Amino acid sequence: MSVLLAAAAASMFAIGTYLVLQRKLSRIIIGIGLLTHGGNLLLLTAGRRGLPALVGEGDPADFSDPVPQALTLTAIVITFGVTAFLLALAYRSWLLSSDDEVEHDLSDLDIRLGRGTHDDDDLLNRDSSDDDGLVDDEARPARSSVDPRPEAERP
């Protein structure tokens, strides 16, 4: 592990982050690619450098650490799969909107702007326990703000 490798990993992370924070899906995918490079570098530098870990070819004491290498190897292949998936997303986005921009979530936007979209009719459509198709005398009229007439004149 050298300062240089640490710096390389850090730059991959920084540049990757910069790209990921954008709205174009293809840029985000490239950003994720760079982030994985950074992650793989970190993984790899967690073990020691050395000769390839092939038993019988050199002193095992000089071998590089095989454990992070095994981890990194699967990480690389998984990244390939994920990249394919993300590219399919971009492709789909292009099919639908001729662009690969990640838009605002519209329903989230509605809520933020106070245009609630939830369905709470059943929760709020009644204002008294006595209004359930049941007969009762003291229902709404008692609410003087609704009905300003004196008690005697109410229906």
Residues 6+ apart with CB under 8 A from 140: 127, 128, 131, 146, 147
Q: Which of residues 11-50 bind another protein (CB under 8 A)?
A: 11-24, 26-27, 30-31, 33-34, 37-38, 40-42, 44-50
Helix (H, G, I), strand (E, B) or coil at 101: strand
Residue 25: count of CB within 10 angstroms of its CB: 20
Considering the complex, state which of residue 17 and residue 149 has its C-beta at the smaller distance from another protein. Answer: 17
Does 150 interact with another protein (rule: CB under 8 A)?
no
Question: Does the footprint of another protein cover residue 154 (CB under 8 A)?
Answer: no
Question: Residue count at the site for another protein (CB under 8 A)?
Answer: 120
**Minimum Å distance from CB 45 to another protein?**
7
> CB of 85: closest distance to another protein in angstroms?
4
Rg of the chain on CA atoms, in Å = 32
> Which residues within the stretch 95-114 sit at the binding site for another protein (CB under 8 A)?
95-109, 111-114
Compute the distance between CA of residue 68 and CA of residue 151 in angstroms, rounded to an integer.
83
The answer to whether the CB of 34 falls within 8 A of the CB of 22 is no
| Alpha-carbon distance values, 55 to 68, 120, 145 (Å) | 17, 68, 89
Site for another protein contains 7 (CB under 8 A): yes
Whether the Cβ atoms of residue 49 and residue 64 lie closer than 8 Å to each other: yes
Name residues contacting another protein, limited to 48-77 (CB under 8 A): 48-57, 60, 63-67, 69-70, 72-74, 76-77
Spell out, one character per residue from 115 to 144, where the chain touches another protein: x when CB under 8 A holds, - when not.
Answer: -x-x-xxxxxxxxxxxxxxxxxxx---x-x
Query: Is residue 149 close enough to count as binding another protein by CB under 8 A?
Result: no
